[in-house]
Amino acid sequence: MLARQADQAAAAPGANIVEVRGITKTYDEVVALEGVDLAFPAAQLSALLGPSGCGKTTLLKIIAGLLAPDQGEVLVQGHKVTGPGPERAFVFQDFALLPWATVLRNVAFGLELRGVARAEREARAEQHIGEVGLAGFERHYPHQLSGGMRQRVGLARALAVDAQVLLMDEPFSAVDEQTRRKFQEDLLALLAHARKTVIFVTHSIEEAVYVADQVVLLSPRPGRIYKTIRPDIPRSGSPEAIRRDQVYLDTVEEIWQVLKQYVA
C-alpha cells in the first residue's frame, strides 16, 4: 500500500502541537462532528478532506477557538483552547480584509491589535508582503487587487503575527487553476523556511496530496475520522515531476476510491 494509516500512538513525545479529543458539535439537532480524535504534528501540513458537509470547516473553527464544541476539547501545546489565541492564525476563504485599509495596514492589523509599535509592525508587515510576492503593493487597497493578490494579503497577515499554527480554510478555492498551483508551490516554499504547523481544509484530492504531510479523511455527516494517510511522495523534483510521479497518482486514486462512494 503506497499510503499508510497514521499511527498516532507511535508519535514521539511532544511531536504533536495540536490535539483534538472527543470533539462533538451539533447545529440545531444536526450532528456536524461526532467523537473526533486527531493529532497534528508540529511543523507539518495536515489537510482535512471529505465530502461537503462533513464538518471540515467546523473542526477548523473549533481549533481556532471561533466555535465552542458541545463535547470534547482541543489542546495546543498542552493547553486547552477556550478561544482565539496568539499561537494560532486563521486564513479565511473569503480573505476577510479591511476594505478601507491598505495592504500594509491589513497585514499589520493583527500586530496593531497586540499593541506592537507602528514602526515595528510595519517593518514586519513589509517583510511578509515581500515574501508572498506583493512588494510594491503596500499602498494599494483590496478593491485594487485581484482575488489571488487579496489571498496573498491574507496569508501575509497570518505570517506577520508569527503564530505557530496556521489554520487555512480552502485558501485557494477562489482563484483559477494556474494561480492555485502557483499558490501551492509558494506555500510549500514558505513553510520550508518558516517551519509552521498548518491545518488546511480543501475539497481537492490533488491539492491535499500535493501539499500535505498527512491527509485526514472525514466521513459524511456526522463527521468522524475515517482514515489518516501520509503520502510518501518524493519532493526533490520539479512540481510537474511530482504531479506525474506514480506514488502521487496512486495516492490520489486511493483517496478517490474512498470518497467516491459519498458522491451523489
Cα–Cα nearest to 50, from 183, 226, 209: 226
pLDDT at 263: 63
The predicted-structure confidence for 32-83, as pLDDT tens digits, reads as follows: 999 999 999 999 999 999 988 899 999 999 999 999 999 999 999 999 999 9
The predicted-structure confidence for 99-123, as pLDDT tens digits, reads as follows: 999 999 999 999 999 999 999 999 9
Phi, psi of 13 (to 5 degrees): -55, 135
Number of domains into which the chain is organized: 2
Residue 259 confidence class, pLDDT cut points 50, 70, 90: confident
Co-location of 257 and 179 in the same domain: yes
The predicted-structure confidence for 201-237, as pLDDT tens digits, reads as follows: 999 999 999 999 999 999 988 899 999 999 888 777 7
Longest dimension (CA), the chain: 54
- Among 162, 185, 208, where does a domain finish? 162
Co-location of 256 and 169 in the same domain: yes
Cα–Cα nearest to 35, from 46, 25, 44, 22: 22
Q: Is the pLDDT confidence value at 144 over 60?
A: yes
Co-location of 34 and 129 in the same domain: no
Q: How far apart are CA 38 and CA 214, in angstroms?
A: 11
DSSP structure string for 9-66: GGSPTT-EEEEEEEEEEEETTEEEEEEEEEEEETT-EEEEE-STTSSHHHHHHHHHTS
Q: Is the pLDDT confidence value at 147 over 70?
A: yes
Beta-carbon contacts of residue 253 (< 8 Å; ≥ 6 apart): none
What is the per-residue burial (b if ≥16 Cβ within 10 Å, else e) of 76-106? Answer: beeeebeeeeebbbbbebebebeeebbbbbb
Residue 91 confidence class, pLDDT cut points 50, 70, 90: confident
Percent of the chain past pLDDT 70, that is, above it, reads 94
Q: Is the pLDDT confidence value at 247 over 50?
A: yes
- Among 134, 162, 190, where does a domain finish? 162
- Among 162, 184, 205, where does a domain finish? 162
More confidently predicted of 179 and 75: 75
Q: Which residues pair with 254 in a beta bridge?
A: none
Place of cell 513589509: 126
Q: Is the pLDDT confidence value at 148 over 90?
A: no
Calculate the alpha carbon distances from 259 to 15, 52, 204, 228, 245 in Å: 29, 11, 11, 13, 21
Distance of CA 26 to the CA centre of its chain: 23
Residue 186 confidence class, pLDDT cut points 50, 70, 90: confident
Domain that holds residue 153: 96-162
Residue 264 confidence class, pLDDT cut points 50, 70, 90: low
DSSP state of 87: T
Co-location of 177 and 237 in the same domain: yes
Co-location of 24 and 60 in the same domain: yes
DSSP structure string for 211-229: H-SEEEEEPSSSB-EEEEE
Co-location of 258 and 170 in the same domain: yes
Size of the chain in residues: 264
